[in-house]
Structure 1
Amino acid sequence: MEEIRDNLVARIAEAEREGWLGKVEGLKVSLAGAEDKLAQVGRRSQKATISLGMPQTRSGDLE
């Protein structure tokens, strides 16, 4: 997803250099969507961490 964002940033710069104002606006909308998706993915990966704690042994397991 970062690759898509980086590509959009490069395309926005090109469109600004060329004076393609309508294209710039459309690309900025796409960039905002890509950044929002990256933020969602980041939040999900943080929530996905689950602590299982330390395993416990029973006295009969070691014999």
Structure 2
Amino acid sequence: MLRIDPGQRQRLIEIIRSLTDRIKEAKLNGWLGEAEGLQVSIQAASKKLTAMDQAQARSKTRITDLGLPRIRRP
């Protein structure tokens, strides 16, 4: 899976909103096949958003301070 740029999070949210609007329009017009296809797209976009949030949370919690190295002298 490709990694998503966290800077594009807002764009992904807008894509999900747009897909939601398009699904509503398709259902109003009776385009059930189109609505179903868009539903698959919105599910994939939602999974990417969730994965992005989880990856960002993991990266923040896994930082470990190892301190400064000490040089041992014989």
Q: Which TM-score band (shorter chain)? A: 0.7 to 0.9
State the partner residue of 1:22: 33
Identity across the alignment (%): 36
CA distance in 1, matches of 2:20, 2:59: 30
Q: Which structure's CA Rg is the greater one? A: 1
Q: Aligned letter for 2:54?
A: R
In the alignment, structure 2 segments of 5+ residues that lack a partner are: 1-11, 69-74
* Segments ≥4 residues shifted beyond 4 Å: none
In the alignment, structure 1 segments of 5+ residues that lack a partner are: 57-63
After superposition, the CA RMSD in angstroms is: 1.7
Number of positions where the alignment pairs a residue of Structure 1 with one of Structure 2: 55
TM-score (norm 1): 0.78
Pairing of 1:1-63 with structure 2 (within 5 A): 1-49=12-60, 50=63, 52=65
Tell me the CA shift for residue 2 of structure 1.
Answer: 0.4
